[in-house]
Amino acid sequence: MSHLKTKKFYVCSCFFYKNIFLKDYALHVEYEGDDKFIAQYESVFTQKYSVNLEKLKQEIIPFVRAEIDKRRDRGKLCLERCMYIEQNYKPLHTQVYTLDPRFLEPAFIQIVNYCKSAGSTKEGLLSLIKKEAPGRSYSFPVFTNEFCKLLVEELEYFEASPMPKDRPNTMNNFGLLLSEVGFDLRFMDPWRIEYLVPISRLLYPDCCGGSLDSHRVFIVRYKLGEDLDLATHFDNAEVTINVSIGDVFEGGDLYFGRMSQDGTAGLPKDYKWYKHINGTGLVHRGLQFHGAAPITSGTRYNLIMWMRSSQLRNKLCPMCNSAPQLEESIGYGDGFML
Ligand SMILES: O=C(O)CCC(=O)C(=O)O
Ligand SMILES: [Fe+2]
């Protein structure tokens, strides 16, 4: 369980006022009081979205403030949910909570073994995986189709249960945070440490890929009548892996743009779409802008792990681009350490 971690992790205080997503406007905003918010955004809302000051005050600001209150309570509520689920939830497929090498594609195990072998190099690894969109994203098989099916069944069973649930973030309203459901200790921690870090160490040394010491892991679900697509964003992560675990859908391809440090979300000239393949994982730098096209039929499930390196982010918070102001948290927080 994430709340029983022995090391203490923190969040940066910017979490409480920055990067609040307004889905109707596909806009991320920050909030430090009504006056500042109005000064900062009134012209954007009136000119770009024909929203007048009254609506800004009556609807948008209250929504933003409610989101901030929710973030303030996040740790406490998460802990309550974790404990309630641990005591009351009876899984459908108990076995999916423990990482079993039989869930993994042999090619994935081979790739990881290569990365762990003496003298392994990035060039050697690149001959075993597929280069995808520009900007150093790569794909490779990860989970067997049988495991994906079991996992989706388990998560649908959990979703249909009366257990308390939280959603991954303001952009995904139908996913699930897997740490809360009890996946960390026996599945997600060993998966990250034993399998993903060896790969990231070679691919992303500049992102401290060899010292990704925490994560935030969740599934996203897209379905007609629910969330369809994902606006362009970057992750609060050094390295992200995105594995397709449910493939009965059309559309939903991913696209990748520039790095967040470059300031704009525009697509590079050589961009191409990434098509999901069941059981296949795509790794990319978290700070590369990306998004997902709408699905046009079916239901899409992906397992996403945002991996963080305290060593790197302790120096610079990727969300506010400043030295982080640390605040207490539970579990992995946002991956900062004292
Ligand atoms: O829709 C997807 O598969 C991408 C999800 C994603 O980028 C995220 O949740 O950070
Ligand atoms: Fe993302």
Least confident range from 85-94, 108-117, 140-149, 251-260: namely: 251-260
Which ligand does the CA of 289 lie closest to?
2
Q: What is the pLDDT of residues 202-241, one digit of tens each?
A: 999 999 999 999 999 999 999 998 889 998 889 999 999 9
Q: Tell me, using a 6 A CB cutoff, whether residue 304 lines ligand 1.
A: yes
Distance set, CA 134 to CA 121, 170, 252, 334 (Å): 20, 27, 18, 27
Distance from C-alpha of 184 to C-alpha of 98, rounded to nearest angstrom: 9
What angle in degrees, to the nearest 10, is found between the helix axes of 34-49 and 61-72?
A: 130
ipTM (interface predicted TM)? 0.99
Distance from C-alpha of 260 to C-alpha of 241, rounded to nearest angstrom: 18
Q: What is the pLDDT of residues 153-212, one digit of tens each?
A: 999 999 999 999 988 877 787 899 999 999 999 999 999 999 999 999 999 999 999 999
- Percentages helix, strand, coil for the chain (3-state, rounded to 5) are 40, 25, 35
Distance set, CA 204 to CA 81, 136, 268, 329 (Å): 34, 9, 20, 27
Q: Tell me, using a 6 A CB cutoff, whether residue 220 lines ligand 1.
A: yes
Neighbours of ion ligand 2 (CB under 5 A): 235
The class (CATH top level) of 2-328 is mainly beta
Which ligand does the CA of 255 lie closest to?
1
Distance from C-alpha of 12 to C-alpha of 121, rounded to nearest angstrom: 34
Atom of ligand 1 nearest to the CA of 276: 3
Q: How far is CA 321 from the centre of its chain?
A: 19
